[in-house]
Amino acid sequence: MITEETNPHSKEIDALSIQEIIRIMNEENLLVTEAVKAASDPISLAVRDAVNAIRSGGRLIYIGAGTSGRLGVLDASEIPPTFNVSPDLVRGLIAGGNRALTEAIEGAEDDENTGIEAVSGVSEKDMLIGITASGTTPFTISALRVGKTHGAKCWLLTCNDVEYDFPDGIIKLLVGPEIIAGSTRLKAGTATKIVLNMISTAAMIQLGEVYQGYMVDVVPSNKKLRSRAIRIIREITGCGDEEAEALMDRSGGNAKTAILMRLKGLSREEAKGLLERSDGSLRKALGEGLSPFRKGG
C-alpha cells in the first residue's frame, strides 16, 4: 500500500537539522494540493450526491477510524454554527465512539461488527462517505457495504489506489508515501481535511447557505459572530451600523432574513416566508439569476 511505503526523501531525516526536516515536510506537502486537484471530478460528483441526499430529506454521514474518523467528526461539528443547519444534517461517526476523539482505542478500526452497527439507521435518503487513508479499514469498509444494502449513496475517500465494485464512487488522494512511513496523520490527513471541507462547503453553497461569499446563515452565538452577522448585513445592503444592528434584532438574529427585510421592505414573517418558498436561497428570494460564470450544478 502507498500509505505504508517508505519515502526516499526522508530516509536520513532523523539525522537532519530542524530546518532540513521542515524543508522536506514543506516540499512533501506541496504534493497534497496536486493530489486534490487531480481528484476534482470525483469530488464534484460526491458534492452532487450530497446535495441530492440533503434535498431529499437525508443526511451526509462521515464514518472512519483514527485520524480519518476524527477529521470527519471535526468537519461535521463545524457545519451547524457556520451555516445554521441541524446538527443531524452532517454527522461524523468514529470507531470507538466519542472516547476515540482524544485517545487511541486499540482494535476499534478492525471491528467489522461495530461498523455495521454504526450505520444501522442509514436509509436510502442518506449519503455515506467512508474515510480511510489505507482504503482497507474493516470498520469503515463494512459500514459502507451495509450502508449500500440500505440504499444509501456510498462513497469511499482514500489515499491508496484501491478498487471496489460496490461504492457509488471513490475519491483517491494519491499524495504518496509519508515522511514517516504509515503516519497518515501527515499528508493523507491534510488532503482528507481539504476534501471534506470542499464537499461540505460546496454542498452548503449549493443549498443556498452562502450569498456573495458571505455566510449569511451564521449563528450569532457570541460577540464575534454577532459582529460578523451585523457586518454582513451592512455590507450587502449598504445600510449603516445602527440600522444593521436594528435589523439583526428585528430579524430574530438571522442575517439572511434581515437582508431580505431591508432590500425587499418586508416584515420578518414575510421575509421568512419568501425564503421558505425560495428553498432558503437568498439569491433566489431576491430574484437574482445564477452567475453567467456558473458551470455544472
φ, ψ of residue 59 to 5 degrees: the values are -130, 160
Other C-beta atoms closer than 10 Å to the C-beta of 214 total 19
Which triple of cell numbers denotes residue 78?
463545524
Question: Are 159 and 191 spatial neighbours (Cβ–Cβ below 8 Å)?
Answer: yes
- Contact yes or no for 156/135 (Cβ under 8 A): yes
Alpha helical stretches, state H, 155-294: 187-206, 223-237, 241-250, 255-264, 268-277, 282-285
Beta-bridge mates of residue 156: 130, 170
For residues 90 and 129, the answer to whether their CB atoms sit within 8 Å is no
Quick check: is 78 catalytic? yes
**DSSP character string of 101-166:** GTS--TTGGG-HHHHHHHTTT--TT-EEEEE-SSS--HHHHHHHHHHHHTT-EEEEEESS----SS
Q: Which of 28, 109, 178, 209 is catalytic?
A: 109
In contact, 128 and 154? CB cutoff 8 Å: yes
Rounded distance, CA 264 to CA 171, Å? 43
Task: Choose the catalytic residue: 20, 28, 78, 103.
Answer: 78
Amino acid at 62: Y
Active site residues: 78, 109
